[in-house]
Structures are given as C-alpha cells and as structure tokens.
Amino acid sequence: MLAFILRRLAQSIIVMAVVALIAFMLFRYVGDPVASLLGQDSRLEDFEELRERLGLNDPFYVQFGRFIGNALQGEFGISYRLQQPVSELIISRLPATIELAFASATIALVFGLTLGVFTALKPRSFASGVIMTLSLVGVSLPTFLIGIGLIYVFAVELQWLPSFGRGEVVDIGGWRTGLLTETGLRSLILPAITLSLFQLTLIMRLVRAEMLEVLRQDYIRFARARGLSKRAINFGHALKNTMVPVITITGLQLGSVIAFSIVTETVFQWPGVGSLFINSVQVVDVPVMAAYLMFIAFVFVVINLIVDILYFAVDPRLRVGAGRR
Amino acid sequence: MSSTNNPAVTEQPRSRFQRIWDSDIFFSFRRSPITIVAALVTLVLILSALFAPWIAPYDPFNPASLNLMDGFTPPNSESMMGNYFLLGSDHQGRDVLSTILYGSRISLFVGISATLFAMAMGISLGLLAGYRGGTIDAVIMRVADIQLSFPAILIALLIFGIARGIIPPSQQENMAVWVLIIAIGLSNWAQFARTVRGATMVERQKDYVSAAKLIGVHPLRILIRHVLPNVLAPVLVIGTIGLALAIIEEATLSFLGVGVPPTQPSLGTLIRIGQQFLFSGEWWILFFPAMTLILLALAVNLLGDWLRDALNPRLR
Amino acid sequence: MSEPIISVRNLVVEFPLRRGLFTAVDDVSFDIMPGEILGVVGESGAGKSMTGAAIIGLIEPPGHIASGEIYLKGKRIDNLPPEEMSRLRGKWIGMVFQDPLTSLNPLYTVGQQLIETIRRHLPMNEAQARQRAIDLLDEAGIPTPESRIDSYPHQFSGGMRQRVVIALALAAEPELIIADEPTSALDVSVQAQIIKVLKKLCESRGAAVMLVTHDMGVIAETATRMIVMNKGKIVETGSVGDIIKRPKEDYTIKLIEAIPSIKDETRRHEAPPTSTLLVEVKNLTRDFDLSPGFFDRLLKGAKRNVVKAVQNVSFDIRKGSTFGLVGESGSGKSTCARMLVGLIKPTSGQVLLEGQDIAAGLTQERRQKVQMIFQDPYASLNPRWRVADIIAEPMHALKLVSNRREAEDRVADLLRRVRLDPVSMRKYPHEFSGGQRQRIAIARALSSQPEFIVCDEPTSALDVSVQAQVLDLMRDLQDEFGLTYLLISHNLAVVRQMADDVGVMHSGVLVERGPVDAIFDDPQAEYTRMLLNAVPDISKVE
C-alpha cells in the first residue's frame, strides 16, 4: 500500500514538474515580460535595469529554479492586466469556482450514476431509449448554448432565476460563499445545471457501457445459475464490478469540471478563476495563464491520487498479492 | 478428404458492390431510419457549406452590398429597402441565411482539418507506441494521459494564448484559422493515440503478424499493410465523434472571442454576436445559427453512435 | 423404475438472426435419472450447451424456447415466471461453467460468494453458513479451508478455482448439476483431478450430472449413459460402452473414427524417414525477465524474477520425419517453436539447419526453408487481406516470383494441393470455416517451398472431425513434398498418431525423448507416466 502510494506520489511530482516547466516557458518566452510591465515609451536603460532586477539575464536553470521556488510559496508574479499579485487574484476568485464546480459535480455524479445504471439494467425499455437519445442530444449541445438557452427560458421569459453573477455573498473567514443567501443559491442553479450536463451525459454513458459489459461476464451468469436474487446480482455483483473502471474516469471527469467552468463562467458572468483565465488569454496576461495552468494541474494531481486510493480500496486484486500458495 | 460439402468453397466470390451492400454495417444502416436522416442532414449541411458562394442569396462579407437600413429585419419579411430575408437580417443588415452558409463553411473547414490533423498525429504515435512498446510507449502514453485529463478546451485556449504571444499582431488575423486548427487538433490527438495503441498491442500479438515477421517483412511494412487496416475501425468511430467535438470546440472558442476573427465569422462567432440581441427581442440572429450548429453536431454524433454499434456488435 | 429428475420433451430453441431463424436445439427429448451421469457430446454448434442452458433457464436473448416442455420431477418448469425459476436454480439445478478464471466474481472472497449462495436457499444464519462453506471447500479438495475461505479468487490457481466453482454449484444440495465443458480450459493433469472431485461430490449426494463436452475421452471415463448431438438434433442415445464400441448411426461412426487415441497410430506418414539429420537443437535456453520495476524493487524489496522458460533443451529431427513435442501449458514448448523459426532470440544455445546455425545468422535461408503453422486459424490470417494475397506474401517477400501472374498461378496450384477451390483466392478469410482457414494457413506455409515446418498446436482450435481432415492433409503433404515437421501439441493422442519421435517437456525442461512407440508404451520419466495416466481416452472405456 505504502509503496503504491509513494509510486503514485512520485508520478504526481513528475507531472507537476513537467507542467511547471511548460508554465515557466510560457511565463518566460511568450511575449516580453519587461515590455508588458513597462509600457511602450520607457527608456532602454529602464528595460535593462528591470531585466537585471527581475533576474531575466540569469541562466535558464537558475530562473526555472526560482520560478519553482516561488510557485511553491504560491508566488506567481504580478498580473500585467490588473497590476495585482496573481496569487491574490486567484484566491479571491477561487470560492466562486469551487462552489460552482462542487454543485455541478454532485448533480453530474448523482444523475449520471442513477441513469447509467437504469439504462444498463433495462436496455430494451422505452425509457432507456428516450434517455439514450436525449444523452446524445446532450453531448451535441455546446455548453455555452445550454447556458444561453437556460438564461432565455428561466431568466428572460419566465423571470424565475437571475441570469448573471453570484447574488449576495457572505464572508466567512476570507471565504466568500454564496451558499448561505437566497439570492446566492438562486444564482447558482442555472450555472450549476449548465456545467453539469456535459459531464452528466458522459458519466451516464460510461456507467451504462461498463455495466452492460459486466453483465455479460461469466461470473454474472454463474451467479444467476446459483439462483441469487436479481437485486443481489444487479446491485451486489454487477454494480461493484462496474465501479472499478468507472471510478478512474469519473474522478478525472469531475476534476475537469473546474477547468470546464471557463465557458460557463463566461456565459453567466460568474466571478471565478475561469473567467479570470479567459480574460487573461485575450490580452496574453502570461503570469495569470501560468498560475492557472499550475492550479489546474494541481487539482488534477490531487484527484488522481484520491482516485488511486479509492481504486485500491475497491479492487482486492491490487490490495492482496496473488498466489500465496 | 475433400471439403467441397461446405458451400463457402463452391460459392462464387461476390462483387465489391454486393459485398458492401450486403455487409453487416450497411445492413444496420438500412435498418436505422434515424441514421439515414442524420446522414442526409450531414450531407446537405456539408454540400451547402461547400457551395455557399453559389447558393447564398447575398454576399454578407462584401461591405459594398451591406446597408444598415436592412438591419434587424425579422425572418420571412422585407426590409425597409425592399430586400427579402428568409431568416431575417442582423444588426449590420447582413442576411442571416447567408452568414450561416458562410459560417458553417468556416466551422466545417476548421472541424474537419483539426480532426484530420489529430487523427494523423494520433494514429502515427499510437502505432509507434503500440508496436515498439518499452520506453517510447511509456513516454507517449504518459503525455497522452496527462493531456487527456485536461479538458480539450483548456489545452486549445493555452495553445491559442501562446500563439497570440508569439505571432506578431499584424499576422494574427491571417493566421487565426490555422492557429485554431492546430490548437483543436493538438488538444484531441491523445484519444486517437490511446485507442490505436491499444488495438495495435492486440493485433501485434496475433499470428498473422508473426507469419509476416517470419519471412522477414520489414516492420514498417507490417505496421502499414498488416496492422493499420485492422485498427482503423475504432479510429473511424472516434474520428466521427471527434469531428462533432471539434466543431463544438471551434464554436466554443469563437464564442469566447478567441477563435476566428469577426471578419470571417464561424457559427460560434455568429452566436456570440446574436447573444447581444437576445434580451432585446431579435431572437433570430441567435436562434438560426445556434440551430444549425446543434443540427450539425447532433447529426455527426448520431452517425458516430451508429458506427460504433455497427462496428462493435457486442455493444448492441 | 423411479421418476426421472429431468424430462425434456421435444425441446426446440430458436435464435432469430439477421439471415433468418436459427434453430439451435431441434426437437430434443431425453430423461436424466437420479444419481445418473449423462454425457452429452457433440462438435461446436451441435446445440449441446444450449440444451443445458434451456434446462436451467439461462438462454441469452434473443434466443428462446420455441416449443417443447421441460419437467423437473414431474413439474413443468420451462414456463415458470423468472422469480420462481431463479429460486429453482442452485436449489434444484446447479451449473458449472467452462472457464474457472472468469466464473468467480473477483471482488468478493470465495467465502462471501459461498455464504451468499447458501443463505439464499437454506435457512441458516451467518455462522452456520460459514461452517457449511468450509465443509464444502474441504470436500472439494481445497487444503486448509478455514484459512482459504477468506481469500479472493485471484489467489487460487485455475484448478483450485474450478474446485471452488463446483463447491458453489453444490452449495444448496441441488439434485442435478449441469456441467458445461467443466474441464476444457484446464491442463490434462488438473482435468483428471477435477473430474474425480465432480464425480465424488455428486455420488456422495446422489446428485445427477449432465456432462456437456466435446471431449469423448472425458465422457468415456465419467459417464454411464450418453447422447450424441449434431446440428441441434440427437443422433444417438445409449450406454457409453455401446456407443464408443458399437456406434450405429453414420454420424457417430465417423465421429468415433475421427477421435485420436493414445493407443493408435493410423495417421503416421508412409515414406520412411531418412537417417540424415535436418534440424539439430543444442542446449537451447531462453529466460524471460519478469522483474518488477525499479521502484518496486526499491520499496517493496521485491526480488528480480527471471523465468527460465526453456532450459538446456536438445533434440534432433531426421529429414522427412515428424518430431512431436508435448507438454502442458507453460511447459515452454511454444517458446521452443518460436525460437526455432526465429521469432524469439534464444538466450543461449544453437539451432542447426543442415549443420548451419540459423539462430545466429543465415536469415534469408531460414526464412525460405523454415515455415510455421499457428494454432488459431482465426488470428493467423489477416482478416483484411484476400486469400490470394495472404498465400502469395512469402513469395513476394522472399522474391521467389517475378510477377503477379506467376504468383497467381502458384497460389491456384497451392489451393488445389490443400484441397480448396482456386476460385476462393478472391475471397476474404471470414468467408471460410475454421478447418478451411487452417488449410489456407498451410498453403501459405508451403508457398516458400520450405523443407521444415513448425506446427504449433495446428488442430487444437478445431473440432475432432475437422482435426482428422487437417491431420490427414498434413500427412499427405509430407509424403508428397518430403517435408519435415515439428509438431507441438498438448494432445498426446494427436502426437501418437502423427509423430515418429517425441519429446516431453515439463517446466521448461525436456524430461524425456525417443521413438514415439517406446515413449508411449514404456515411459521412463515419472512425469510422462503421470501424464499418460491422466489423459481421458476413449480406449479406456470398458
């Protein structure tokens, strides 16, 4: 177990190092950081002085080392566009994104699993046919159109729910949450549904495919031949085996909800890190882009680690070595 | 000791056409009306995009022919200038139908090119990884794994951002379409590589490959003549579904304002423009481009879904 | 006369397929008496498994019982609602499947699976059920069942898993066990033990067995009465001795004739082998490094793990003779074959062809003179290629022909020699049956005009009657072209029929070699003797 986790940890560190390298290259070689900081009409001496002060004349590895050192302390420089420290910008916008991602991940997981299991257990029923067709429509609808559609129906026509922003937020120890006010919760509904739909259909189709595969296995036939009840076979034997492959992919899908929120945040003008990133891309605000990349990589690595540990708990073939005898 | 009792020996070989018409794939195609409709819709959309300059009633990108007085004409009516607009006109007086025809041209061009690019890259790397194994395999697959865990849209955005930093501003407008194709292609190759690699690892164990090795056939020839044709079926499925994804991805990027420039709008750009008029009641500027995009993505997805079932009978 | 456990009356099972209705079981009627072992034998597609599945009510849709009745102790069961039928399964009728590696749920311990099954059918609490599970495992021959009951399936070997499967099938004391090819996935030596366990457990409980298998030898050793099926219909029914010794129907007579026996040598070639040596194998050794990665070795203290797949194997093959190499799975016989044709490099040792080392150099000559026929005719022919291209590939690769026309003529000639219509060169492999594909594979091997052909289990994927045809073809071609064969097989009877000399491999070592009759009639090595005793063979029927 320890060796397993240590190996995964080592892999995670390598991944982070690679992403850090990409982020650094981005930071260092895309555009000219000095020009971005000083503006057009500065003197040549100012450029040279700033280059020296920022350490841009140091050898590559020294600069990369300093970048990593700073990154470990959460230090990513100053945004070209907003002239604020990047870490502050990200931290102030993080609660909005995390609350949105969490809400949609929950929706995607609960409905994706239930519908996936249902369509696998009743593959020939009419309801399954409808659900499968709808899911195909779901993957064909771009996220931004779902958002626009929901805004049009529920905000413009019916005027039930707000079309943009987070509503009122409450500050709890630096964490500005929208979950405690009525307007905050109402504002969350449409973006959360928008963001969850794509993942929902993916999870549903995945669960369905895996479960159909499991239901074809010999051990399910053998369980039937032993006269076990339908319940025990479907939910005891089949579902548990379905979970083994589903955990990995679902975990990663949920992780990507955070990155996916870029689009949703833009449509709903949700003040999270995603809209921060998209605004930075448009004006090539490199420090923010680099920091966002590192942040997403970190989320991915953490989720991967959790997935591996879950996997380990579910599958005895990993836990207990074979052939003790 | 003859085995002429089996009909397969005496039966004459069938023609290529009969073979295709009678194949299981075509059989399932003929039996699925929804697939036939999807294929027709895809065909019509592709053809009308291809022949847009000849079909479109107006040339929406010729400033000389535009008149602001034509603006905001509702569908199926005439403007103050006496021009007829089947699907209405936008704020600059451009015919929505014509912008859609030209827009889907860009969308399809970017989508298809990006998918072909991703496919070529994924197939070559997947074949290499699957056939050689070892370190090359480990490196390629690690990179693919990492990339697959980030959403394609984020990767495309990053590549786009980098390109913006590198390419001089004067060139950006001309290069935008190519940057978009590379960004979307690079964000989608991993899926192909992973599938091809998996299939290649299965195929290279099979004895028809051993039989070719035995008589000294060159590995590259084995890869291209023996292995490649046998791993193409899943590639076709992912390619179709990938095309739908690429079209959506392009639309999303353009919607976010980082895709093609407004002078050559794609469906995504049109939706971005139309969104501004949603609250003020000019719904058609948004609605028709959005419907075209959905129809296109849905039809291609339906084709992909059918293809997957037809090529993999076990999943039915 | 007592009442039968199961009565099947005019059973018809149909599968609606794309090209019409397929009748898998066609008007089948039979009874099984209490405590009886009924063998059901037939080649693939005979409908024997489907009959078993129909009795226990587990036909996969879209297949279904179209007509007929099934009675369990006089009560009709084929029309029961699903929930009632599921209560009968396990309680009255148990089932054992072919592959023990996939029959058990990998995520639950064997104890959990046993206890679940016992408590579903018998009124017991957890502790009682657990005790019963331990007793069952003990009876099934699992050593120290008290500690093994909490192990997961992957911690058992294939043979041990099949014992667990049998214990599971018998957990609620059913009166009938349907065993569908229960030993076909196992090695000969394990097969014998599993048959013994199945027989013992059913005898001690008075349970009847319906033993479905393609292997007449297994039936000869196990069953009392048997049914021969072909194309969904029952061909012949009778006592095992009667059918094997005195078959009445044409189909049965042909089938029995086709079955090879370890006592019989009918298919050996006629031309006497010369005394010149064509192939000499000297101290051939091959190691496989299965060590865990560097990281695991460092952290878990895992040791380097080098498997010696083939150790120091030496033998000679005379020109024009057949050398049989036998052994169970994992004995290293296939690794040997692949080293001989150059697909795997030996770690050390030599392979001499006419005195010259072909393992090291001489590739062009080896490629032309040494060919191979593979086990699975479905995987050894590229499904995307036409037969003509498949057969002509060696000629083109080795530049033995100058143009397409010439190649086509040669392909037509080769097809005729393997008794196929030359017209079939325009078709694709999937249009042929297994036996026909193996003929195409043989034609491909012959197309480079080789002297020496390595045949790796050439018939083990085929039905017995097809096997006989392919073996006859191989013998005829040997006489016609003066070929030399290395025949690799796990089937001792096939080797006895075909080979002049034989070598027996066990765990990578050649334990014994010599003239075939000497080895089979008077084996010297302990392992060979055990193997010959374990083989279920039709000559062993009383």
Q: Where are the domains of chain B?
A: 109-287
Q: Do C343 and B210 touch (CB under 8 A)?
A: yes
Sign of CA dihedral C409, C414, C416, C421: negative
Domain containing residue A176:
93-284
Q: Is the pLDDT of residue C1 over 60?
A: no
Instruction: Find the residue in B nearest to A163 (Cα).
Output: B279
Instruction: Tell me the chain A residues in contact with residue B267 when contact means C-beta distances shorter than 8 Å.
Output: none
Question: Between A and C, how many residue pairs show a Cβ–Cβ distance under 8 A?
Answer: 104
Map B98-143 to HEC letters. Answer: HHHHHHHHHHHHHHHHHHHHHHHHHHHHHHHHHHHCHHHHHHHHHH
Q: Do A230 and C296 touch (CB under 8 A)?
A: no
Which pLDDT tens digit goes with each residue over B50-72?
887 887 777 777 766 666 666 66
Per-residue model confidence (pLDDT) at position B51? 83
State both tokens at C133: 């599970």
- Alpha-carbon gap: B210 to the closest alpha carbon of chain A (Å): 30
Per-residue model confidence (pLDDT) at position B2? 38
In 3D, which of C376, B33, C174, B304 has the Cα closest to residue A140?
B304
**Is residue A27 in a domain?**
no
Predicted confidence band at A34 (pLDDT cuts at 50, 70, 90)? low
Q: Which of A150-159, C19-28, C261-270 has the lowest mean pLDDT?
A: C261-270
Q: Domain holding A172: CATH number?
A: 1.10.3720.10
Q: Do A26 and B162 touch (CB under 8 A)?
A: yes
Q: CB contact, 8 Å: C381 with chain B?
A: yes
Q: Do B286 and A256 touch (CB under 8 A)?
A: no
**Is residue A191 in a domain?**
yes
**Is residue A175 in a domain?**
yes
Which pLDDT tens digit goes with each residue over A81-103?
777 888 888 888 888 898 999 89
Using a CB–CB cut-off of 8 Å, the residues of C that contact A are 56, 58, 82-83, 86-91, 94-95, 97, 99, 102-109, 116-117, 120-121, 148, 151-152, 154-155, 157, 165, 168-169, 171-172, 295-296, 299-300
- Element at C176 (helix H, strand E): strand C176-180
Cα–Cα distance, A122 to B182 (Å, whole number): 42
State both tokens at C91: 């309680």
Strand partners, C373: C455
Instruction: Tell me the chain A residues in contact with residue C157 when contact means C-beta distances shorter than 8 Å.
Output: 323
What average pLDDT does this structure show over A101-110? 90
- Alpha-carbon gap: B216 to the closest alpha carbon of chain C (Å): 7
The DSSP secondary structure of B49-75, one letter per residue, reads HHTHHHH-SS-TT-GGG--GGGTTPPT
**Is residue A270 in a domain?**
yes
**Parallel, antiparallel, or unpaired for β B77-78 and B84-85?**
antiparallel
Which pLDDT tens digit goes with each residue over B13-43?
566 666 666 666 777 777 778 888 888 988 9
Per-residue model confidence (pLDDT) at position A33? 64
**Parallel, antiparallel, or unpaired for β C452-456 and A175-177?**
unpaired
Phi (first) and psi of residue B119, to 5 degrees: -65, -50
- Alpha-carbon gap: A5 to the closest alpha carbon of chain C (Å): 11
Q: Do B217 and C393 touch (CB under 8 A)?
A: yes
In 3D, which of C493, C488, C485 has the Cα closest to residue C531?
C493
Domain count along chain A? 1
What average pLDDT does this structure show over B140-166? 79
Which pLDDT tens digit goes with each residue over C396-432?
988 888 888 889 999 999 999 999 999 888 888 988 9
Q: Which of A140, A152, A282 is closest, CB to CB, to B297? A: A140
Q: CB contact, 8 Å: B2 with chain C?
A: yes
- Dihedral of CA atoms A265, A270, A275, A279 in degrees, nearest 10, equals 120
Sign of CA dihedral C428, C432, C438, C440: negative
**Is residue A276 in a domain?**
yes
What average pLDDT does this structure show over B95-123? 90
| Chains with at least 3 CB pairs less than 8 angstroms from chain A | B, C
Per-residue model confidence (pLDDT) at position C213? 92
Per-residue model confidence (pLDDT) at position A36? 63
Domains of chain C: 6-257 (3.40.50.300), 277-369+450-540 (3.40.50.300)
What average pLDDT does this structure show over C310-337? 90
Q: Is the pLDDT of residue B1 over 60?
A: no
Instruction: Tell me the chain C residues in contact with residue A325 when contact means C-beta distances shorter than 8 Å.
Output: 148, 155
**Using omega within 30 degrees of 0 as the cis cutoff, is the peptide bond preceding C62 cis?**
yes
Cα–Cα distance, B66 to B60 (Å, whole number): 7
Unique residue bearing structure tokens 């334990």: C511
Any idea what DSSP says for residue A285? -
What is the separation of C-alpha C385 from the centre of its chain, rounded to a whole number of angstroms? 28
Per-residue model confidence (pLDDT) at position A114? 93
What are the residues whose beta carbons fall under 8 Å from the beta carbon of C113, sequence distance 6 or more? C104, C105, C168
Class of domain B109-287: mainly alpha
- Alpha-carbon gap: C334 to the closest alpha carbon of chain B (Å): 13
Q: Is the pLDDT of residue C81 over 50?
A: yes
Q: Which of B4, B6, B9 to mutate to test the interface with C (most CBs of C within 10 A)?
A: B9
What average pLDDT does this structure show over C171-195? 88
Q: Do B8 and C433 touch (CB under 8 A)?
A: yes
- Alpha-carbon gap: C89 to the closest alpha carbon of chain A (Å): 4
Tell me the angle at which helices A86-121 and A239-267 cross, rounded to the nearest 10 degrees.
140
What average pLDDT does this structure show over C59-69? 89
Say whether A217 sits in a helix, a strand or coil: coil
Q: Do A281 and B161 touch (CB under 8 A)?
A: yes
Cα–Cα distance, B48 to B292 (Å, whole number): 12
What average pLDDT does this structure show over C355-374? 79
Q: Is the pLDDT of residue B233 over 90?
A: no
**Is residue A255 in a domain?**
yes
Checking B65-74 for CB contacts under 8 A at 24+ apart, the result is B66/B92, B66/B93, B66/B94, B67/B93, B68/B92, B68/B93, B69/B93, B70/B94, B72/B282, B74/B282, B74/B284
- For residue C306, the tally of other CB atoms under 10 A from its CB is 12
| Chains with at least 3 CB pairs less than 8 angstroms from chain C | A, B
Cα–Cα distance, C203 to C177 (Å, whole number): 11
**Is residue A325 in a domain?**
no
What is the separation of C-alpha C470 from the centre of its chain, rounded to a whole number of angstroms? 16
Say whether C282 sits in a helix, a strand or coil: strand
Q: CB contact, 8 Å: B164 with chain A?
A: yes
Any idea what DSSP says for residue C422? G
Instruction: Tell me the chain A residues in contact with residue C91 when contact means C-beta distances shorter than 8 Å.
Output: 227
Q: What is the mean pLDDT of chain A?
A: 82
- Judge residue B92's burial from the number of C-beta atoms within 10 Å of its C-beta, 0-12 exposed, 13-18 middle, 19 or more buried: middle
In 3D, which of C483, C381, C388, C434 has the Cα closest to residue B212?
C381
- How many Cα neighbours within 13 Å face the side chain of C526? 0
Per-residue model confidence (pLDDT) at position A324? 36
Cα–Cα distance, C381 to A158 (Å, whole number): 64
Residue at C353: amino acid letter: L
The DSSP secondary structure of A68-93, one letter per residue, reads HHHHHTT---B-TTT-SBHHHHHHHH
Per-residue model confidence (pLDDT) at position B10? 43
Q: CB contact, 8 Å: B214 with chain C?
A: yes
Q: CB contact, 8 Å: B77 with chain A?
A: no
Beta strands in C477-541 (DSSP E): 484-489, 501-506, 509-515
Q: Is the pLDDT of residue B313 over 60?
A: no
What average pLDDT does this structure show over C196-209? 87
In 3D, which of C112, C160, C120 has the Cα closest to residue C140?
C160
Q: Which of A16, A281, A288, A300 to mutate to test the interface with B (most CBs of B within 10 A)?
A: A281
What average pLDDT does this structure show over A218-241? 90
The DSSP secondary structure of C200-212, one letter per residue, reads HHHHHHT-EEEEE
Say whether B257 sits in a helix, a strand or coil: coil
Q: Which of C341, C433, C473 is closest, CB to CB, to B214? A: C341
Cα–Cα distance, A197 to B171 (Å, whole number): 38
**Is residue A75 in a domain?**
no
Phi (first) and psi of residue B228, to 5 degrees: -50, -50
Q: What is the mean pLDDT of chain C?
A: 88
Q: Do B13 and C432 touch (CB under 8 A)?
A: no
- Binding-face residues of B in 272-301 toward A, CB within 8 A: 275, 278-279, 286, 290, 293-294, 297-298, 301
Residue-wise burial string across C197-235, b where 16 or more C-beta atoms lie within 10 A, e elsewhere: bbbebbeeeebbbbbbbbbbbbbbbbbebbbbbbebbbb
